[in-house]
Amino acid sequence: MQKIRVGIGYDVHSLAEGESLWLGGIQIPHTKGTVAHSDGDVLIHAICDALLGAAGLRDIGKHFPDTDDEFKGIDSKVLLKRTIQLLSEKGYTVGNVDCTLCAQRPKLAPYIDQMEVILAKLMKVDVDDVCVKATTTERLGFVGREEGMAAHAVALIVKE
Ligand code: MG
């Protein structure tokens, strides 16, 4: 019998000058970047958590701990690839993923298409099955003050 499950993911990283900014698998030129043990790709981390949660596999910190040197500075695309591998070991493939990136600056619209293409390829789905949205928080809260960025994701996974 076909099994369909959903999962939710949320991640936050603080911002600092002199750090690089990776979002949705691409490096984005900006005055600040995310502070993290990995490359700090907050969008991919939220997606990984949504996928792992859907499969009942807890979260990214359980599988790729930030205390482990193996993951120091790691490209988050590798983490997403490994997440898909963990899902496939349980017989799941990705149905679709929807996510929202919360960032006051920079303008992310020019990068969204490219993010969707990269994420779809990593998750082995059509580009149409990945939706990346971006919003500011109207200058409110830590995102609005440009102290950090946040991302929300939901994922649907399927076992035939
Ligand atoms: Mg993270």
The domain limits of the chain are 3-159
Proportion of the chain above pLDDT 70, given as a percent: 100
Chain-centroid distance, C-alpha 79: 10
The model's pTM is 0.97
Q: What separation in Å is there between the alpha carbon of 60 and the centre of ligand 1?
A: 8
Per-residue pLDDT band for 67 (boundaries 50, 70, 90) equals confident
Token look-up 């600092």 returns 16
d(CA 157, CA 18): 37
Token look-up 């019998």 returns 1
Joined together, the tokens standing for residue 156 give 């649907």
| Nearest alpha-carbon partner for 43 in 7, 10, 87, 78 | 10
SS3 22: strand
Q: What separation in Å is there between the alpha carbon of 92 and the centre of ligand 1?
A: 23
- What pLDDT was estimated at residue 134? 98
Q: What separation in Å is there between the alpha carbon of 2 and the centre of ligand 1?
A: 32
The CATH fold assigned to 3-159 is: 60s Ribosomal Protein L30; Chain: A; (3.30.1330)
Q: What separation in Å is there between the alpha carbon of 40 and the centre of ligand 1?
A: 6
Q: What separation in Å is there between the alpha carbon of 1 and the centre of ligand 1?
A: 35
- What pLDDT was estimated at residue 68? 85
